Structure 1
Amino acid sequence: MRNPRNERVSSDIDSASPERTCILSGETAARDELLRLAISPDGLVLPDVHARAPGRGAWIGVSREALEKALAKGKLKGALARAFKGAPLSIPDDLADRIEQALIRALTERLGLELKSGKLLMGSDRIAQNAREGRVEWLGHSADASEDGSRKLDQAWRVGSEAEGSGLKGTRLPLDRETLSVALGRDNVVHLALTDRGAANRVASLLQRLLHFQGQATSERHAAGMVDDNGQADAAPVTTN
């Protein structure tokens, strides 16, 4: 039997994510909302999206624009020198590009894992049916998806979620159909849906960081489609360029 979307289930209760401080802004946030930088064996500063690299790390939570300004003014170099206790390091000129590509890769790899586990749906008809039956926890549209097709699936999701009139809508991804198709090994991937709440939040967490770094989201949690403790998917739209 489907669990009502406004009832909390035990799997929603997660331990709090440890907090870290951004070396550029000085602001503190959960580590899942920040990006870790690490040093390679040859001293190159690189993104460590999953925070698994050994040794000391430095955390940033700023947009690409802010990072590039900090790099140009030497602020990033000074902040990294302090974070890594004066260890020899080299900051690549294309660090911002490397970070964005690493975030995109992490997101598409996660989508691929959810596909393999059977929690990711593709195809308008299949998504619409599951959405109307209340089985969809997260809905996404490629950057170049048609407004009409997206609107129809959004409406099906609202109906199945008993959220008509709420403004609930799918997330406009910062990835086009070609990128999604290549990443997932399928043809013409335009719309995506997740049927598991945990999977929805795993994807939304990665998407949140990508959108924030790109400077596209006015409210990252809402834009990414995070599912709250009551099983409600946040519905604010994404601002895309």
Structure 2
Amino acid sequence: MTDATTPAGDAESDDLSDAVAFPDEGPERTCIVTRSKGSPEALIRFVVGPDRSVVPDLRCRLPGRGAWVTAERSKVLEAVKRKSFKRAFKSEVEVPPTLADMIDGLMEKDALQALSLANKAGLVVAGATKVEGSIGPKVPAALISASDGSADGIRKMEAAVRRLMGDEADSIARVRDFRSDQLDLALGRTNVIHAAVAGGRAAEGFLTRARRLARYRGGSAAKAAAPHSTIETRPIED
């Protein structure tokens, strides 16, 4: 039986510092819902397991014929509602009713694992004071604010970043898709509300996943920074 959480298992064994963990080259794919074409990184691949269940293949590595859906929660829900998978695979298939939530959880787990790896590489500092202190000669790749943090705290952090960096603050990605308790587990600390991620391969791996998760959820929580911007890759001073 194919476990629908197989992609998450891959995430644990793969090098999460890879900026892109799915193909970004090759022919365009066609969404089975919208019929629009796009690059593989803009869609989610699905395959059918031996038990005839539809399995999300986030890494595009599972064997078998694939069907592609635009990487947005609303499109996955529409595919389930319209029975698009049955038509795409031209056979009866079992579609988990919680498929959209399952994908959200897999993407979230993947991003948090990548953040943990960046932390182990010494690229993350946590705490408002340390985050502010990390901004200066070195430009962080991303600023993280817990989704359940106070609006006033986020406003104060934004004001501090603007004060220190001016217009250059717009080049830093903002990530607000994770709760404080999730950040605690990923970083091995307690009460994490604010964090900064320095530039580097591991950091870009995290940002790739955070951006994809934000797009899937239909929000702008992971503000896109220039993907190839020049960012100092030495660890942030803790």
1:38–1:58 contact (8 Å) kept in structure 2? yes
- The DSSP-based 3-state class of the residue aligned with 1:163 is helix
1:8 matched to which residue of 2? Answer: none
Matched, 1:181 2:184: yes
Listed one character per residue, the Cα deviations across residues 39-80 of structure 1 (whole Å, up to 9, x for unaligned) are 33322212222222233322221532332233122233213x
Contact between 2:30 and 2:69, CA under 8 Å: does it hold in 1?
yes
Q: Extract unaligned runs of 5+ from structure 2.
A: 1-18, 232-238
2:74 aligned residue (65, 69, 74): 65
Contact 1:134 1:161 (C-alpha < 8 Å) held by counterparts:
no
Which amino acid is the alignment partner of residue 202 of structure 1?
A: G
Displacement over 6 Å in runs of 4+: none
Partner of 1:191: 194
Q: TM-score, normalised by structure 2?
A: 0.73
Aligned 8 A contact 2:140 2:197 in 1: yes
2:163 maps to 1:154 = no
**Cα pair distance change 1:182/1:16, threshold 3 Å:** closer
**Structure 2 CA distance, aligned partners of 1:180 and 1:63?**
24
Q: 1:208 and 1:25, CA in 2 relative to 1: closer, same or farther beyond 3 A?
A: farther
Higher relative contact order, chain-length normalized (CA < 8 Å, sep 6+): 2
Q: Is the 8 A contact 2:117 2:202 kept in 1?
A: no
Residue of 163, 166, 186 corresponding to 2:167:
163
Change (3 A) 1:124 1:214: same
Q: Are residue 77 (structure 1) and residue 98 (structure 2) matched?
A: no
| Identity within the alignment, % | 28
Q: From 194, 208, 212, give the equivalent of 1:205.
A: 208
Counterpart of 2:116, as a letter, is G
Separation in 2 of the partners of 1:134 and 1:161?
11
SS in 2 for 1:92: coil
For 1:120 and 1:62, how far apart are their aligned partners in 2? 28
Q: Distance in 2 between matches of 1:154 and 1:133?
A: 18
2:145 to 120, 141, 148: 141
Structure 1 residue ranges without an equivalent (≥5): 1-11, 233-241
Counterpart position of 1:42: 51
- CA, structure 1 residues 123+45, in 2 after alignment: closer, same or farther (shift >3 Å)? same
Measured after TM superposition, the shift of residue 144 of structure 1 is 1.6
Pairwise CA RMSD of aligned residues? 2.9
Per-residue CA deviations over 1:100-142 (Å, capped at 9, x if unaligned) read 1111111111111111111222222221111133341211111
